Amino acid sequence: MVKKHESNNRIDSNCISEIDENPGFYGKDTFLGTDPAGDDLADNFDIDLPAVSVGTPKKRLQPKNMGAWLKQYALANRNTTVTGAFVAALLPHDEYHEKTVKQAMLDLGQKGDVLTCVYCEGIPTTWDHLTNSVQSHKANGPGHRVYNLVPCCTTCNSSKGGKNFQDWILGYTNTAGKKIPPTIRVQAARREHVVQSLIAYQKKCPPRSDADLELEEKLMAMRDRVWAIFKEADDLVAKVRPRIEKSRRYK
């Protein structure tokens, strides 16, 4: 049932001493537990997992799915990532000061160090940028400022996605004219209050300066040069690739 990956360095480096010290450690009954270092042992071995286990995907991979992987990958597909990298470097940020953050959490109506998701009042796991940092390939919002960050749970964070918080909470009409209803993540009775308190909270962010905007202009011009190089590389690949592929056919 249990087979070791011969080439798996993690086993060699992390687990072998455990086997030496306790030969029974990998016995059948104990196998699907966690090792003393807290790693999931199933990650380290090829094993026959039970037919149904936590996290079992709804659809099993089929051979025909491989088609989606067999394609030319264009550099132009990374344009958004490049913009994100430039914007991340460009956006203003606050230094971390415990006192400022504590005050901000009080302003947000949080209770001491026990934070709750500002949207659903669940257990927060991350900091949500109230206003996203990138929109339409441009820097957007106040940036990585204390008063642009709120405690948020994973589900709300992923449900909100790139939408602005007012639209996501209260509902909106999208560019195709379709009415998007308010999120069910924020209780109907709280929606208006949550939006108003978040607007008031975010207003405490200092505005971006002229020097800041000038830097943005320069960095975006550099970004455009990277995009142009990507395009040049894609064009080169498109020109040369067919010739290379001819000599690479399966017999």
- Residues found near Zn ion in the complex (CB under 5 A): 117, 119-120, 122, 153, 156
CB of 8 or CB of 116, closer to Zn ion: 116
CB neighbour list of residue 201: distance below 8 Å, 6 or more residues apart: 104, 107, 108, 130, 147, 150
CB of 185 vs Zn ion, minimal distance in Å = 6
Helix (H/G/I), strand (E/B), else coil: 173: strand
Q: Which of 187, 227, 249, 244 is nearest to 77 (CA)?
A: 227
Angle at 116 between CA 114 and CA 118, to 5 degrees: 145
CB of 110 vs Zn ion, minimal distance in Å = 13
CB of 41 or CB of 120, closer to Zn ion: 120
Token pair 């087979």 is found at 3
Q: List, in sequence order, every residue forming a beta bridge with 114; answer none if it has no partner.
A: 111
CB of 56 or CB of 158, closer to Zn ion: 158
Q: Which of 208, 191, 109, 92 is nearest to 150 (CA)?
A: 109
CB of 108 vs Zn ion, minimal distance in Å = 14
Is residue 108 within 8 Å of 115, Cβ to Cβ?
Answer: no
CB of 121 vs Zn ion, minimal distance in Å = 7
CB of 84 or CB of 122, closer to Zn ion: 122
CB of 120 or CB of 205, closer to Zn ion: 120
CB of 204 vs Zn ion, minimal distance in Å = 22
CB of 208 vs Zn ion, minimal distance in Å = 29
Within a 10 A sphere around the Cβ of 78, how many other Cβ atoms? 15
Q: Which of 79, 99, 34 is nearest to 224 (CA)?
A: 79
CB of 111 or CB of 178, closer to Zn ion: 111
Our CA dihedral for 236, 238, 244, 246, rounded to 10 degrees, sits at: -160
CB of 39 or CB of 192, closer to Zn ion: 192
CB of 152 vs Zn ion, minimal distance in Å = 6
151 secondary structure, DSSP code: E
